[in-house]
Structure 1
Amino acid sequence: MNQAESLLFEVLQKFREVLLLMTKTNFILQNFDTQIFGFPVYNYRPNSLSEIENAAAEIPADAGLVCMRTPKSWSHLMPKTQFRRIECLVVMESKLENNTSNNLPVNVRICSQADAEVCKIIAANCFQHDRYHKDPMIDDQTAAATKAQWAFNNVTERGDASFVIEIENEILGFNLCLLSTTTAIIDLIGVSPTHQGKGFGRKLVKAALNYYTNKAQIIRVGTQSDNHASISLYKSLGFREVEEYVTYHWTSNQNEDPRCRKN
């Protein structure tokens, strides 16, 4: 190899290293999830369809779990990867200009930081349709702990407005919301398992609709496509489906577990 060829080889190697680094920056370490799971959890954000097929080869060496959410139209490529389909997420929204009231429903009030522990307990017990509970490689205790801490953090620091339904001094459910410019977001909503099916979820959604009237232009929420009760509730309150995504997981030990061989 002459000097010119050697120089060209070095340039190509550097170029390859830069491309590899750019690819790996698509893997974003999730500090919240990592702390709960006890190993590094990453979110993979592909910029294009062409990146997906080789995604598994670029997974960080220390990763225990990698999550990826893509448009549903990309699903045809996923069987070529090592990622497992977990859920289909439906994004729904409602225009707040159609809402005519700003009063909170009976028995619903603004949540305070003093309610954080109760919301945490409810969150640890009321979810089953979320992606962590659905993944056979993630134990239910860890999935529940994620929701519990998510609720606690929303009430104590990261939320905008939160609502609880309280009857006879007992908090039965919560609706924890965020605000991004002119869009309100139902970040996490849950009702105690022993009180589900009594219309409390509807009251909590109405609370958000009423509260954000004149504070935001639209309100958004995400729910799983197989959570039919949730979808029906939102549609009955004027929400419509606007986007659909599919969530995929890769776990470091998935090839060792027979529950994942069918994926």
Structure 2
Amino acid sequence: MLRRTSPVIPGFGLTLGYTLVYLSLLVFIPLAGMFVYAAQLTWSEFYTIVSAPRVLAAFKLSFGTAFIAALLNGVIGTLFAWVLVRYRFPGRKIIDAMIDLPFALPTAVAGIALTALYAPNGWLGQFAADIGMSIAYTPIGITLALVFVTLPFVVRTIQPVLADIPRELEEAAACLGARPWQTFRYILLPALLPAWLTGFALAFARGIGEYGSVIFIAGNMPGKTEILPLLIMVKLDQYDYLGATAIGVMMLIVSFILLLFINLLQRYVAKG
């Protein structure tokens, strides 16, 4: 006769109950409250707010720079993870620890540091100014700030997956005459792609809502370098709570659709 072993943690009913309660208190109820508050607006009023030129410019800037930063980190983060997993060299642990620095560093400190570095009179910005190029107070500076903040999401997502891929597979492919790009295409890429999409989605989601590290280097010029989170703060400072809520609802809907698409693509890749 088989005996049922006691689970390490409470059973399914209790754990599911705790999960639903915490999700409701921390996620579902606040988001539902935002939709309920925005329901005071008619459809025409909502459309007028979210289709204003200033809002559309901030929307394009926030989502565009977040997407570009996530793509850049998809390449840079993969290279970082490859170096940390595949090679042993002095200072490797220090570099590995520094990858997590954007997690621990206050975003305002990161923004001030990046502004001091890339401003027209900064250490690097002065060289860009000499050739007629501006970094700070432009979308380029915003993208650099987002790359800095979101890099750990990609590295820490790809790193354990890459570590689980045996080197013997690459060596066997080389012995069978496969070229490096063929080894990457047919052996490494199928295993890394789901993790890469996850890291991209996390970096993209973080970049859309990033505020502290961006406001210092952005310059916050309406219609040019004003991001959506800052525009929401401006609306709140003006006591335009309905306007701020409408912009927040628009961000939530678009972000959910994009992340849902990325998750469906990730599942499709994993099954394939």
Normalised to the residue count of structure 1, the TM-score between the two structures is 0.24
Identify the structure with the greater strand proportion.
Answer: 1
Identify the structure with the greater helix proportion.
Answer: 2
Normalised to the residue count of structure 2, the TM-score between the two structures is 0.23
